[in-house]
Amino acid sequence: MAELSRLRHSAAHILAQAVKRLYPSVKLGIGPAIEDGFYYDFYYPDGFTPDDLKRIEKEMHKIIRQNFPFERIEVSRSEAERILKEQGEEFKIELLRDIPEGEKISFYKDGEFIDLCRGPHVERTGDVKAVKLLSVAGAYWRGDETKPMLQRIYGTAFETEQELKNYLHLLEEAKRRDHRRLGRELGLFDFYDEIGPGLVLWHPKGALLRTMLEDYLKKEHLRRGYQLAVIPHIMKADIWKISGHYDYYRENMFMFEIEGKEYGIKPMNCPGHIMIYKSRIRSYRELPIRIFELGTVYRYERAGVLHGLLRVRGFTQDDAHIFCRPDQLEEEIGKVIDFVKDVLDVFGFDDVQMEVSTRPEKYIGSEENWEKATNALKMALENRGIPYDINPGDGAFYGPKIDVKLRDALKRSWQCATIQCDFSLPERFGLVYVDKDGRPKQPIMIHRVVLGSIERFIGTLIEHYAGAFPFWIAPEQIRVLSVSDKFISYAKEVVNRLLELGYRVGIDDGSDTLPKKIRIAEKEKIPYMVIVGEKEVKRGSVSIRERGKRDLGEMEFEGFLKLLEKNFVPR
């Protein structure tokens, strides 16, 4: 991976060289390698068009053919500043001033082009064999919306043309599966300017899909000893001050004033669940107490990062908080890990990765408690033989966490479950239980979600299945198609029998031809089509077509029911 990163960093350098050749007035920003490729930021008020990208890519291939050597040049700080001032690269001068005293300052040169850069690079421009520019987007300089807007050109590079071809095929497949497009086409959800950015409107089929997920989650939580709760969407600022959100998370909250008091729309559910725990004296015998809620929260995400269902401002979490004794902590974390793996398996995700995120720069609580909490998370994973990575400094401000990432059908990684271990909020809210010796003790709190954001998980599901959901969660499981108006009565009889058995059924009794009705049902990704015509009416049977143009032929109604039962996966 290190070699691929070096290759992509070199491709970013070649991109900058090509842009400067074609657009000499452009100012350079930064150009790092990233997970799937590279990008470079440019200050160019006119903006780049798709035709510009084609020209730039053509020029990059010319530079690659010229096979310039990459030459590292180390200079003094004053010499570096002189070079950059001569070039008029004010963004690079700002980067130079951020380099700590005593650190070596280097440029990389190939051909006529020289760029402030730490490196490393490949030996020659000709070593970059397979490169492709993908897109252009706006990006504020250094991610600060008060600073100039730059043009960010994205690209990718691989060691071989075949690897590049395979990657571009995956990109096309990802476009086909894009949940934003499929969400509209399948009538699941949409966003409207009149409502506001990042706020989802669920259409009937989408609301039904959500209901299937939520009903399943409620049943599974109750089966595992969780208690249900419902808390308000707004709370006085006082509660957010106690929790620390007011000081550490306020920039992401929607705050307002009413009757002279400041309130916040909840960005998280934990303070409400804490108050439920605190509502009466608790005994050590009651613990663990597991409080669950499908809780809707609101967070102010910047408009530039909003992305369909994957990043929104209002979303629902399958949120729970577990209050336990120290001797129960590791076991409870382990049970949550098992819960997560069981549920993801039901939805068809058997490839998951675990990541332990440690203490961030801004945090509450003692270092000793942070260490205890982090070790408890690690031990729960290690005792199950589950490998994990460390993500330094990415914990929540109140505790470390396990992040669970799943891989979809295209092997892309998606964040879902989170398990957070928290000694700090119980202390800040003065939570206690009466221990067996009659003395008050402080419980430990586990924050956890299994699917995470319901919105994000549905977006993941749509893309994983390309909208062709498993039978058990498909909003419309069966569509009955009448061959002509003469058979509508029998078609409705079939619909009613299926509805009575609890299936989600639609009917197409319009005037379209049967082939067109089938095409519509296929496009809408209905798992089963039940066709009724003259022979089916005479015999009291049905003819079945499975999604994907597989004709299962004529069968008795009872035979069709047995087929449906095999498709129903969860308990």
Tell me how many degrees the CA angle 186-192-196 measures, rounded to the nearest 5: 135
| Alpha carbons 187 and 204: distance in angstroms, whole number | 8
Instruction: Give CA torsion, residues 153, 70, 67, 5, to 10 deg.
Output: -50
Instruction: Give CA torsion, residues 273, 275, 276, 277, to 10 deg.
Output: 90
C-alpha 430: how far from chain center: 34
Tokens of 111: 């051909």
Radius of gyration of the chain (CA): 29
CB 116 within 8 A of CB 96: yes
| Alpha carbons 203 and 273: distance in angstroms, whole number | 30
Residues 6+ apart with CB under 8 A from 168: 132
State the CB neighbour count (10 A cutoff) for residue 448: 27
User: Which residues are marked as active site?
Assistant: 270, 299, 317, 319, 321, 401, 447
CA separation (Å) from 327 to 17, 211, 332, 386?
61, 37, 10, 22
CB 405 within 8 A of CB 357: no
| Alpha carbons 224 and 153: distance in angstroms, whole number | 49
- Which backbone phi and psi does 386 adopt, to 5 degrees? -95, 120
The conformation of residue 70, written as its DSSP 8-state character, comes to P
CB 414 within 8 A of CB 460: yes
* Side-chain-facing half-sphere of 545: CA atoms under 13 Å: 19
| Alpha carbons 232 and 135: distance in angstroms, whole number | 43
CB 26 within 8 A of CB 40: no
| Alpha carbons 125 and 270: distance in angstroms, whole number | 54
